[in-house]
């Protein structure tokens, strides 16, 4: 297993030099989970590959999902059996081989709303769901009587169900998983850079032969030569295709999905929930000491960088979940809200919730591959398909994909450390739940954080304003995880921005000072980073009071993206 090299300032400077000096086989544009997966797939085939992301890794859709690795129960009703089977196989790979430290089983209760016909119908569907993926490491579906539901989920209204079924899927922290895929790609030799924006594509006649790339942090620009450019930009797919001078073989439509985060004690249940809605399904997902409730599914044609949740979105989700709860949730119970954009393949006439989640790969012109659609769970398959399509622009003899056999960094040795939980707790003088927290975020890389704590006991101090996290995690993010801005830390390296009632305002002060020491910020830069984050939080809260997308987008735009301010 290769060593997970630090993504720090030295690595960034070295990566920028390599972009300018080396001819690549593959240049990947877009640092979400698909782009990260393509970089890993290409690197493990022995190709020279670089990954560039204009903002931060996972800063778009890949940090704003429902955080599930799942087959997609609702796709069974659409008769999309191929997608479900493929996704369930990927779920099993993640749980058992590729990312067992990051991807965990999670149970869901499906409450039955009809006393007669619904149970055999749902049982048939979930039984099929149990078997479609082949080998499985999660329990099979279990039947529950009305009393059984009351015991496992006493917070549900008795009138809201006629018994139910329990089934299992899997979940992960999407932003941390994406970053781990990036770090694994780097460990296998890929050059990876965030804050690196493609400003144009290079041509030799009709062939794409590379790209102009701007360092958003410094304003420096360079030309990157590559045999093939792979467009993994999600809702920005059409922009890159236009940059290439062509129309593209498909177009991408953005669908907004909003999620709420509430404290775990606000819903009395031992399991997650899946509820039918008029147009789709609603999940209530256990998330450490929280619940995630979502999602919406509406067209979005405004800012793709920072989609906004409206008061109407929030009210819709509260109405849906309160329809089954004994003690209704209110806005005061909401600790976090986030909105993301699904990159759906355009062209169909149905509502966005009915659009296919299958992906498409196209070679609109020589030297350019575009991939879009799909779902988070199938990122590895999407990546392999994209690199397979790129073979036409590469020299002969490119091997087949091997990523189904490649554990992500932190996976090797993880289970042994879990088995040593009590020993680790005594050795490092941390409660077992703290050890578990670190192991489930970093896997076997947690030993690096343990070593830092052993050297400096102050790093075991909980972070003020976000006590579930330790100071050492901020230090580690600065030294190893390509953290450039405070916003990167609070929204993606940790999930403080959606897990604390004040949206990370108190933690911003303490975390900002720690990052300043690690990254060499002066007082002005430190104050600027903290103030920007506070303005971002204020703008997001203000936008969530608006009832219409346009007004919410205008309010959110009041806080300028830190990366547009960074240059120079």
Rounded Cα gap, residues 171 and 502, in angstroms: 25
Q: What is the pLDDT of residues 526-551, one digit of tens each?
A: 999 999 999 999 999 999 999 999 99
Task: Place 249 in a pLDDT band, splitting at 50, 70 and 90.
Answer: confident
Which of 304, 260, 91, 262 minimizes the C-alpha distance to 177?
91
Whole-model pTM: value is 0.97
Lowest mean pLDDT of 123-127, 242-246, 262-266, 421-425, name the range: 242-246
Q: What is the pLDDT of residue 355?
A: 40
Q: What is the pLDDT of residue 334?
A: 97
Rounded Cα gap, residues 392 and 366, in angstroms: 8
Residue 565 has pLDDT above 60, yes or no: no
Q: Using only C-alpha atoms, what is the Rg of the chain?
A: 23
Residue 207 has pLDDT above 70, yes or no: yes
Q: What is the pLDDT of residues 313-334, one digit of tens each?
A: 999 999 999 999 999 999 999 9
Q: What is the pLDDT of residues 187-200, one digit of tens each?
A: 999 999 999 999 99
Residue 307 has pLDDT above 70, yes or no: yes
Average pLDDT over residues 35-53: 98
Residue 135 has pLDDT above 90, yes or no: no
Task: Place 349 in a pLDDT band, splitting at 50, 70 and 90.
Answer: very low
Rounded Cα gap, residues 448 and 472, in angstroms: 10
Residue 102 has pLDDT above 90, yes or no: yes
Lowest mean pLDDT of 23-37, 232-246, 339-353, 553-567, name the range: 339-353
Q: What is the pLDDT of residue 259?
A: 98
Q: How far, in Å, are 62, 129, 360, 474, 511 from residue 517 at the CA level?
A: 29, 50, 45, 11, 10
Strand partners, 191: 50
Average pLDDT over residues 145-149: 97
Task: Place 493 in a pLDDT band, splitting at 50, 70 and 90.
Answer: very high
Share of the chain above pLDDT 70, in %: 97
Residue 353 has pLDDT above 50, yes or no: no
Task: Place 351 in a pLDDT band, splitting at 50, 70 and 90.
Answer: very low
Q: What is the pLDDT of residue 234?
A: 95
Q: Give CA torsion, residues 40, 41, 46, 48, to 10 deg.
A: -60
Rounded Cα gap, residues 225 and 240, in angstroms: 16
The residues, any chain, with a CB within 8 Å of residue 530's CB and separated by 6 or more, are 486, 508, 509, 512
Average pLDDT over residues 393-407: 97
Q: What is the pLDDT of residue 433?
A: 98
The answer to whether residues 472 and 437 touch, using CB atoms and an 8 Å cutoff, is no
Average pLDDT over residues 16-27: 96
Q: What is the pLDDT of residues 419-449, one digit of tens each?
A: 999 999 999 999 999 999 999 999 999 999 9
Q: How many CB atoms lie within 10 A of CB 454?
A: 13
């Amino acid at each position: 297993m290769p060593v997970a090299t630090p993504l720090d300032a030295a690595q960034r400077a070295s990566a920028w030099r390599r972009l300018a000096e080396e001819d690549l086989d593959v240049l990947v544009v877009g640092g979400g989970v698909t782009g990260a997966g393509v970089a890993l797939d290409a690197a493990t085939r022995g190709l020279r590959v670089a990954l560039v992301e204009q903002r931060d890794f996972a800063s778009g859709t890949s940090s704003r999902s429902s955080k599930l690795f799942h087959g997609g129960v609702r796709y069974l009703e659409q008769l999309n059996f191929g997608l479900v089977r493929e996704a369930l196989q990927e779920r099993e790979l993640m749980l058992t081989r590729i990312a067992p430290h990051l991807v965990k089983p999670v149970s869901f209760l499906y409450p039955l709303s009809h006393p007669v016909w619904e149970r055999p119908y749902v049982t048939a569907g979930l039984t099929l769901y149990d078997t479609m993926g082949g080998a499985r490491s999660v329990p099979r579906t279990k039947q529950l009587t009305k009393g059984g539901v009351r015991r496992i989920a006493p917070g549900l209204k008795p009138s809201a169900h006629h018994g139910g079924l329990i089934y299992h899927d899997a979940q992960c922290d999407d932003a941390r998983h994406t970053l781990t895929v990036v770090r694994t790609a780097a460990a296998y030799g890929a050059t990876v850079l965030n804050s690196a924006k493609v400003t144009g594509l290079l041509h030799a006649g009709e062939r794409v032969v590379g790209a102009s790339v701007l360092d958003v942090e410094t304003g420096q620009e360079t030309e990157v030569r590559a045999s093939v450019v792979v467009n993994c930009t999600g809702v920005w797919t059409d922009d890159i295709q236009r940059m290439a001078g062509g129309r593209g073989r498909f177009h991408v439509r953005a669908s907004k999905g909003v999620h709420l985060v509430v404290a775990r004690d606000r819903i009395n249940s031992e399991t997650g929930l899946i509820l039918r809605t008029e147009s789709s399904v609603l999940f209530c997902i256990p998330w450490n000491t929280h619940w995630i409730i979502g999602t919406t599914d509406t067209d979005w044609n405004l800012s793709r960088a920072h989609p906004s949740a409206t008061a109407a979105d929030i009210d819709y989700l509260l109405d849906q979940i309160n329809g089954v709860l004994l003690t209704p949730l209110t806005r005061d119970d909401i600790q976090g809200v986030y909105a993301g954009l699904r990159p759906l393949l355009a062209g169909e006439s149905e509502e966005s919730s009915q659009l296919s989640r299958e992906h498409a790969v196209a070679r609109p012109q020589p030297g350019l591959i575009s991939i879009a659609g799909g779902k988070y769970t199938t990122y590895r398959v999407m990546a392999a398909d994209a690199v397979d399509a790129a073979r036409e622009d590469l020299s002969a003899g490119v091997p087949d994909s091997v990523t189904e056999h490649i554990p992500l960094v932190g996976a090797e040795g993880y289970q042994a450390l879990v088995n040593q939980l009590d020993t680790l707790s005594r050795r490092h003088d941390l409660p077992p739940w703290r050890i578990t927290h670190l192991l489930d975020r970093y896997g076997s890389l947690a030993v690096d954080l343990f070593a830092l704590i052993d050297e400096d006991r102050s790093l075991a101090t909980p972070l003020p304003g976000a006590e579930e996290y330790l100071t050492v995690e901020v230090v580690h993010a600065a030294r190893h995880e390509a953290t450039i801005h405070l916003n990167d830390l609070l929204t993606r390296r940790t999930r403080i921005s959606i897990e604390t009632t004040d949206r990370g305002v108190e933690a911003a002060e303490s975390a900002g000072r720690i990052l300043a020491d690690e990254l060499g910020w002066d007082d002005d830069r430190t104050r600027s980073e903290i103030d920007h984050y506070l303005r971002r939080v204020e703008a997001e809260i203000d936008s969530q009071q608006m009832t219409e997308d346009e007004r919410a987008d205008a309010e959110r735009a009041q806080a300028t993206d830190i990366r547009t301010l960074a240059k120079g």
